[in-house]
Amino acid sequence: MKERNERLQSIKKIIRDHRITSQDELLDHLHDMGFRITQATLSRDLKLLQVGKIARGREGYHYTLPSEEELRESEANFIADLQRGYVSLEFSSNIGVMRTLTGHADSVAIALDNLFARYVLGTIAGDDTVMMVLRPETDAALLQGKLRESIPGIED
């Protein structure tokens, strides 16, 4: 987990310090810093960091990080999605099943993936159910505590 957090911080620093125009260019910078990752991993990291591309006229496109305000707004939207759709949560070992209102599982799964990525390895959404797999270093009690801290109104 430590390497992932260091890598995410390094990606943000590279994007802030350089005008990065492609994933290949970003991978080169990361390799120079000692990170050995694939393009697929980098794509997931960029999605997690909510990195976008902006146009700069004739200079072409380059990567940009969201502003703090955009991150807060995005986090608030994810929290609202969880509050709107959540019904219940049960665990069996490192597998959690979150019941949602019908039709809300997709938005709840996306919110879980974005808000709790350091605890949740991944999610699978149905129509009214989200299955989540916890990371090896996370247990059910830890995630339930983080949910209660972050999402007003969420109960076990």
List, for residues 104-151, the tens digit of each pLDDT value: 999 999 999 888 988 999 999 999 999 999 999 999 999 999 999 888
Neighbouring C-alpha atoms within 13 Å toward the C-beta of 53? 12
Are both 6 and 44 inside the same structural domain? yes
Q: What is the pLDDT of residues 57-100, one digit of tens each?
A: 777 888 998 887 877 888 888 999 999 999 999 999 999 999 99
Considering 42, 64, 86, which residue would you say is the last residue of a domain? 64
Q: Tell me the sheet residues that pair with 10.
A: none
Considering 40, 64, 88, which residue would you say is the last residue of a domain? 64
Greater model confidence, 50 or 139:
139
Are both 134 and 74 inside the same structural domain? yes
Q: Which domain holds residue 30?
A: 2-64
Which tokens sit at 74?
């995005």
Q: So what's the pLDDT on residue 60?
A: 83
Q: Does some domain include residue 49?
A: yes
What does 15-78 look like in DSSP terms, one character per residue?
A: HHHS---SHHHHHHHHHHTT----HHHHHHHHHHTT-EEEE-GGG-EEEEPPPHHHHHHHHHHH
Tokens 């009690």 belong to 141
Closest CA to 4 of 26, 36, 51: 36
Q: Does some domain include residue 7?
A: yes
